[in-house]
Chain A
Amino acid sequence: MFRKDYRSPSLMKYLILGCLLLGSALALGGCAARPATSAAGSAAPIETIENKGSDTLVNLALAWAERYMQMHPEVSISVTGGGSGTGIAAMINDTVDIANASREMKPEEIVAAEKNGFTPIEWVVARDAIAVVVNPTNPVDGLTLQQISDIYTRKITNWRQVGGEDRPIVLLSRESNSGTYVYFLENVIRLGQKGNETLFAPDTLLMPSSEGISAEVRHNPNAIGYDGLGYVTSDQKMVAVAVDASSPHVLPSIVTVNDGSYPVSRPLYMYTPGEPQGVVKTYLDWVLGDGQGLVATLGFVPLASRQVDK
């Protein structure tokens, strides 16, 4: 009834046998190594903090956690990414102590949290400048917010119209669930106007990652994209942005974000389920205080202006 397809079953057998042997060897090695590490790890920490959420924030959150654990070996902090929505959902279901988010909580998420018996509390932990990037060979150095908005809604379709070469413009964006996408849409494309219903042009390329954007910007002289300042690599060219035609074009940097002259920057958040207690409170206080010293090294903007306000 069934026909043998393989002319050399013996070869297959050896392959499978080899794989099995290799697999079991690895498994044995893993088992042997395990007790040592877990014994060393489980000795010190008493208190644990679960921290989950935004992929934008994950590197910064990791840096904070590592530094804090060095100073306080009695605290163990585990940081995972997965996205703002994932982190907030985990906080609502009470499986994490702190959720990281690159956007504000949506009303329905707050309702869901209140249904579970607590009011989420918002903490701004750093700021992120959104840089507009083009290919290094693109001669365009500066754009106004209005021009960027027109480009992303296809009112401007050729680089010639904004002082560049005669090339079609290819629009790049992050995926629609990223906090960066929502911020860029509301504050750049809609120019921060309430009730403005403009959307990204349908042929905007939605890239699943920052690497997707940087690869396309690097290779394609037609492309324009945007991303967090910390994710802009040296092979992309940042465009200086002006609020309107009469104001100066400003490049994003820690200085220009803090003095407010660079117009496209957003807050990054941590959310706690209710008023934080004990170690979580001490940790958050540190993040908002001394922890700010780490922010700039990861390409984000520390909360200098906020501290001046206080």
Chain B
Amino acid sequence: MRKGSMSGWGEFVVETLVRVAGFSAIGFVLLIFLFLLREGVPAFFEVVPGNLFGTRWYPTFDLFGTLPLVLGSLLITITAIVIALPLGVATAVFVREVAPNWAREILKPMIEVLAGIPSVVLGFFGMTLVAPFVRQVFGAPTGLTAFTGALILAYMALPTLISVAEDALDAVPRSYRDAALAMGATQWQTIWRVVVPAARSGIVTAVLLGMGRAIGETMAVMMVTGNAARMPLTLDSLFRPIRTMTATIAAEMGEVAQGSTHYHALFGIGIILFVLTFVINLTAASALFQKRRRGGLR
């Protein structure tokens, strides 16, 4: 009897702790969003919309055009995913479907180590090695370009992309592979015609999570993209400098006068970024949810 009540108490305490921890995550997100709104929303009243969504970002002279920053972020994020997607899926396929056991045991932890490299290290690597390479190979006037940023971002998104894509492949039932092989398909045909298509919603999730990682990245991007707030509208924009939302906030927040229009505008960019990331994550979550619901796969 005594023993029973003791373990009941313990269970109650642990349960409460777990519940508080779970709810606190939601609470923190809400609080952060409220703080963002409080600091950022004034920007939408203080700056006329024509200026706020204009094409020139010169905050020192009251020009708060966020358009080049939003487009800059989108350009490098999308380019990064275009680079990382084939690489990531191919790696996931190799690790899960092709590699012998011993190679998989080495590759998996190695890929996870990739995720642990600090972004400032990658930024420094990009600035001193990748940038000169991009300038010489692609003949751009400077190596600090959107493309350089996208290369670094692709590298940073890869670990997430590979791990999630690999889980998706792993979730494809063995019976699918057996059936394909039994019907005379080669291993290559089984992988590309059966396994990968069956895992596609998981791969979409992987891509979206990779995007979420890439769009929010700051330090490395700030170091390699040149931070010029120009509109990336011409064809050569990929090989010209751009400025992202994250780099703008990071570079300017340190010296901005608190409570000024510029300060609110930076938080306004934060709101735009938060909404973009939120939409991406929400799409990823719903893709994941659909995958769970579909009976065939799980």
Residues on A facing B (Cβ under 8 Å): 3, 5, 7-8, 82-86, 88-89, 106, 108-109, 167-170, 175-178, 181-182, 185, 197, 199-200, 202-208, 212, 215-216, 219-220, 222-223
Pair A207/B227 contact, Cβ less than 8 Å: yes
Q: Which residue of B lies closest to A82 (CB)?
A: B254
Q: Which residues of B contact A167 (CB under 8 A)?
A: 141
Pair A176/B257 contact, Cβ less than 8 Å: no
Q: How far is the CA of A167 from the CA of B140 in the complex (A)?
A: 11
Tell me if B230 counts as interface (CB < 8 A to partner A). yes
Pair A85/B256 contact, Cβ less than 8 Å: yes
Pair A175/B142 contact, Cβ less than 8 Å: no
B164 to chain A, nearest CB (A): 10
A-B CB contact pairs (8 Å), 11 listed = A5-B167, A85-B256, A88-B257, A169-B141, A202-B228, A202-B231, A203-B230, A205-B144, A212-B127, A216-B131, A216-B142
Tell me if B60 counts as interface (CB < 8 A to partner A). yes
Tell me if B61 counts as interface (CB < 8 A to partner A). yes
B245 to chain A, nearest CB (A): 14
Tell me if B270 counts as interface (CB < 8 A to partner A). no
Pair A85/B255 contact, Cβ less than 8 Å: yes
Q: Which residues of A contact B252 (CB under 8 A)?
A: 175-177
> Nearest 7 A-B pairs (CB), nearest first?
A177-B255, A85-B255, A83-B255, A205-B226, A206-B227, A168-B141, A170-B142
Pair A208/B257 contact, Cβ less than 8 Å: no
Q: How far is the CA of A88 from the CA of B260 in the complex (A)?
A: 14
Interface positions, chain B 42-72, Cβ under 8 Å from A, are 56, 58-61, 68
Pair B254/A206 contact, Cβ less than 8 Å: no
Interface positions, chain B 188-228, Cβ under 8 Å from A, are 222-223, 226-228
Q: Which residues of B contact A182 (CB under 8 A)?
A: 60
* CB contact under 8 A between A220 and B254, given known A202-B228, A207-B227, A208-B227: no
Q: Which residues of A contact B141 (CB under 8 A)?
A: 167-170, 222
Q: Which residues of B contact A177 (CB under 8 A)?
A: 60, 251-252, 254-256
Tell me if B143 counts as interface (CB < 8 A to partner A). yes
Q: How far is the CA of A202 from the CA of B67 in the complex (A)?
A: 13
Q: How far is the CA of A182 from the CA of B250 in the complex (A)?
A: 19
Q: Which residues of B contact A206 (CB under 8 A)?
A: 226-229, 243, 251
A107 to chain B, nearest CB (A): 11
Q: Which residue of B lies closest to A105 (CB)?
A: B257
Pair B255/A203 contact, Cβ less than 8 Å: no
Most chain B CB within 10 A, of A5, A167, A168, A216, is at A216
Q: How far is the CA of A181 from the CA of B167 in the complex (A)?
A: 49
Tell me if B186 counts as interface (CB < 8 A to partner A). no
A273 to chain B, nearest CB (A): 16
Tell me if B135 counts as interface (CB < 8 A to partner A). yes
A189 to chain B, nearest CB (A): 12
Q: How far is the CA of A169 from the CA of B258 in the complex (A)?
A: 36
Pair B228/A205 contact, Cβ less than 8 Å: yes
